[in-house]
Amino acid sequence: MKYRSTRGQVRGIPFSEAVMMGLADDGGLLLPESIPTLSADELKQIADLPYPQLALNILSRYIDDIPHAELKELVERSYSTFEHPDVTPVIAKGDVYILELFHGPTLAFKDVALQLLGNLFEYLLAKSNAHMNIIGATSGDTGSAAIYGVRGKQGINIFILHPKGKVSPIQELQMTTVTDDNVFNIAIEGTFDDAQAIVKEIFGDLDYKQKHALGAVNSINWARVLAQVVYYFYACLQVQKLTGAKEVEFSVPTGNFGDIFAGFIAMQMGLPIKKLILATNGNNILSRFVTKGDYSAAEVHHSLSPSMDIQVASNFERYLFYLYGEDSARITAAMKTFQTDGMLPVSSEELTQTQQIFSAATIDDEETLKTIGAFSKETGYTLDPHTAIGVAAGKQMRTGSCPLICLATAHPAKFGAAVKQATGDNPTLPPAFEGIDRLERKLETMPADIEAVKQYLDRHVLT
Ligand SMILES: *Cc1c(COP(=O)(O)O)cnc(C)c1O
């Protein structure tokens, strides 16, 4: 399988190169040159596979430049860090199925992709005798999942900037109690936007980037999307076995369009998904797009679901590429228009085509809290605010003709304050996190000043 960029200037590259490139060199996003499909018979054959074997089966269809035995070892190691034997268990609650994606080391679904990506990086770097310094800014979830993905790995140092005192207490503890030699937490005296601006400026300095072999782990890496395709297969096949249903629908809480794009790929591969329900909080550029073709940027508002407080969805270009008939020239022009005018053109035909695949709803903070409270009363099960948005949107938009699977993207204890507000009770942390506040911490505090950060990097990067 070869990979190409949505913008058309990069093509014919193998998987390993696509993983190391991250963002395509022409500014676009990398996609496979074709999407492999599975027949109904093939789906039946993989329906009983345990998660790691299913992952290997799906991934092998997209990866032909890593020997099978080595890929198998990488995949098995990546999912051995999940504390549930099913990795991503599916459970029936009320009239929906909950796909629990939060059994990895940081209690959020990003672990599913980043545990694998960390191992892939280490493997590919060792093969080419190279090293990498990962740098990123986080408002919480991505940073901790990335740190746990690469902690202790050879050939990689990671530097994660977070706004001092502005991530949730558990997120801060998760990051700063990782004391491995290759992990560097930087608390910036400023906002998330300050931290993000510093990272962007550092990446914009191409000489500096090259000199220090800087890399990123953001959600546009194709390997992350690919890892997420697997749990759509796993959940759909499980629920079909339980119910005998011909089709299922999924409801997906979305920010960067990464998670739901993986569902779109699974659908194109032949998985019988009737509909993908796209759920956003008040930052709803994506649901406006699906409901009325309006893709215009607005201000970002803070919500109870901070990991979805995003306006410009970095993975959306991948879907648009297919919607535009794989026309790279049109994508390139459209993305330029979006940068200057803050909106994207779609025809009414394209809107209709989008609505055959997706439906969408916007769930505000008030409805999020109501949903957590009501679901807890009805089923005894506690939803985190992101998952609650998916459940609320799913109940609103489901066709009713097949089982509904709601993606649970974080453990409720990760967003304990919102859960307490909704139910009156503090969710309990899993046993692995007990006593985390008494562990040794490793972090450096710095002003929101690019020179201070660069000086720190100069002293600590792998060379
Ligand atoms: C990142 C994240 C999301 C959004 O995922 P996207 O891939 O950006 O759509 C939803 N919920 C939680 C808990 C997250 O960490």
- How far does residue 375's CA lie from ligand 1's centre (Å)? 21
Residue 384 Cα: closest atom of ligand 1: 13
Out of 386, 411, 415, give the residue to mutate to test ligand 1, the one with the largest number of ligand atoms within 8 Å of its CB.
386
What SS3 state is found at 447?
strand
For residue 412, the number of C-alpha atoms closer than 13 Å in the C-beta half-sphere is 22
CATH code for the domain of 300:
3.40.50.1100
How many domains does the chain divide into? 1
Q: Which residues make Cβ contacts (< 8 Å) with residue 447, sequence separation at least 6? A: 188, 189, 190
Nearest C-alpha neighbor of 386 from the set 308, 277, 288: 308
Is residue 276, in this structure, part of any structural domain at all? yes
Distance CA 16, CA 64 (A): 9
pLDDT at 311 over 80: no
pLDDT digits (tens, 9 = 90+) for 48-65: 999 999 999 999 999 999
Q: Which residues make Cβ contacts (< 8 Å) with residue 93, sequence separation at least 6? A: 375, 379, 381
Is residue 103, in this structure, part of any structural domain at all? yes
Q: Are 394 and 410 in contact (CB under 8 A)?
A: no
Answer whether 140 contacts ligand 1 (Cβ < 6 A).
no
Is residue 33, in this structure, part of any structural domain at all? no
Quote the DSSP letter at residue 400.
Answer: S
Residue 219 confidence class, pLDDT cut points 50, 70, 90: confident
DSSP per residue, 284-339: -HHHHHHHHS--B-------S-GGG--SS-TTHHHHHHHHTTT-HHHHHHHHHHHH
Is residue 361, in this structure, part of any structural domain at all? yes
Q: Are 203 and 209 in contact (CB under 8 A)?
A: yes
Is residue 329, in this structure, part of any structural domain at all? yes
Q: What is the pLDDT, as a whole number, of residue 300?
A: 83
- How far does residue 6's CA lie from ligand 1's centre (Å)? 23
Residue 306 confidence class, pLDDT cut points 50, 70, 90: confident
Q: Are 257 and 412 in contact (CB under 8 A)?
A: no
- How far does residue 294's CA lie from ligand 1's centre (Å)? 22
- How far does residue 147's CA lie from ligand 1's centre (Å)? 17
Is residue 450, in this structure, part of any structural domain at all? no
Catalytic positions, please? 110
- How far does residue 269's CA lie from ligand 1's centre (Å)? 23
Is residue 233, in this structure, part of any structural domain at all? yes
Residue 397 confidence class, pLDDT cut points 50, 70, 90: very high
Q: What is the pLDDT, as a whole number, of residue 314?
A: 84
For residue 254, the number of C-alpha atoms closer than 13 Å in the C-beta half-sphere is 37
Answer whether 89 contacts ligand 1 (Cβ < 6 A).
no
What tokens appear for 379 in the block? 């089923």
What SS3 state is found at 326?
coil
Answer whether 4 contacts ligand 1 (Cβ < 6 A).
no
Answer whether 308 contacts ligand 1 (Cβ < 6 A).
yes
Distance CA 117, CA 18 (A): 12
Residue 256 Cα: closest atom of ligand 1: 8
pLDDT at 313 over 90: no
Answer whether 219 contacts ligand 1 (Cβ < 6 A).
yes
Distance CA 215, CA 130 (A): 12
Q: What is the pLDDT, as a whole number, of residue 429?
A: 86
Query: What's the pTM value of the predicted model, to 2 decimals?
Result: 0.96
pLDDT digits (tens, 9 = 90+) for 221-253: 999 999 999 999 999 999 999 999 999 999 999
Answer whether 409 contacts ligand 1 (Cβ < 6 A).
yes
Domain with 415 in it: 90-107+223-423
Answer whether 108 contacts ligand 1 (Cβ < 6 A).
yes
Is residue 204, in this structure, part of any structural domain at all? no
